[in-house]
Amino acid sequence: MIDVDLQLTVADGTRRFDLAARFATNVPFAALYGPSGAGKSLTFQAIAGLLHPSRGHVRLDGRTLFDSAKGIDVPAAERRIGYLFQNYALFPHLSVRENVAFGLTSWRKRRLSPEDAAQVDALLRSFDLTAMADSRPRTLSGGQQQRVALARALACRPQVLLLDEPFAALNPMLRSAVRQDLAAMQREWGIPVLMITHDIDDVLDLADVAFVYEAGQVAREVDLRAGTSRSLMAQKLGVPARDETPERNRLRRLLHG
């Protein structure tokens, strides 16, 4: 169960933005959906401990990570949260293996324990990265880089995985394949996922619940589990339903083999 209530203000010389977002869920896959600049990434930063709300709380599976009233603010490194940034933020000077292992090493402890090394090897295998483990990220395709970023986010055995627009850098053909990979990964690792996306298909294909953001607040919660038709879900989310004609589906099947 993740339970957040975040109130914070960010400002620079000319702009100010107020976030007042609240939601709680225990579904395996939840989406934060909404227009650009609505406060979704700030929410992730506050959950991960990179931003400090002025009021509110962050609770994860009964553990309090932040509570302004009780003066609790667990440091980011101790929160056990996997965070996939919008542009992946891979380290260009490190190999694939070193990128995946990054969260498990520290400047003091340069070497991985045998247990951690085995975990890194398992992740490389699981994400089909073993053959490129010693390569630098710039020599990898977009989809491969995305898998490295996901493997790195999972390496610290997180209690929740935050994915900030995980498919944004991928071309449309790759997107649907990677969407399926992500769903399979979620089933295999059993770690709850919160995903930020602008893409209605990401929401409809992956999410159990969507929190719709508007101007720094969660305007509504949409349950996407069985029993609701795709077009009704799209309507609830406030977007036009896709043209799901049989002809279009036939073409989609042909294109995807």
Ligand X SMILES: Nc1ncnc2c1ncn2[C@@H]1O[C@H](COP(=O)(O)OP(=O)(O)OP(=O)(O)O)[C@@H](O)[C@H]1O
Instruction: Give the CA dihedral 105, 107, 111, 112, nearest 10 degrees.
Output: -10
Region binding ligand X by CB under 6 A among candidate stretches 35-43, 145-153, 170-178, 220-228:
35-43
Residue in the block written with tokens 């395709």: 141
Helix (H, G, I), strand (E, B) or coil at 17: strand
d(C-alpha 224, C-alpha 90), whole Å = 32
Q: Tell me which H or E stretch contains 24.
A: strand 16-25
Task: Report in angstroms how near the CB of residue 58 gets to ligand X at its nearest.
Answer: 16
Q: Between 39 and 103, whose beta carbon lies closer to ligand X?
A: 39
Quote the longest CA-to-CA distance of the chain.
Answer: 60
Q: Is the dihedral of CA 184, 220, 20, 14 positive or negative?
A: positive
- Work out whether 40 is an interface residue with ligand X (CB under 6 A): yes
Region binding ligand X by CB under 6 A among candidate stretches 37-45, 126-134, 154-162, 224-232:
37-45
Region binding ligand X by CB under 6 A among candidate stretches 33-41, 66-74, 149-157, 177-185:
33-41
- Work out whether 245 is an interface residue with ligand X (CB under 6 A): no
d(C-alpha 126, C-alpha 121), whole Å = 8
Among residues 36, 106, 171, 245, the one that binds ligand X under rule CB under 6 A: 36
Region binding ligand X by CB under 6 A among candidate stretches 36-44, 98-106, 113-121, 144-152:
36-44
- Work out whether 47 is an interface residue with ligand X (CB under 6 A): no
| Binding track over 3-22 against ligand X, x by CB under 6 A | -------xxx--x-x-----
Helix (H, G, I), strand (E, B) or coil at 209: strand
Residues that bind ligand X (CB under 6 A): 10-12, 15, 17, 36-42
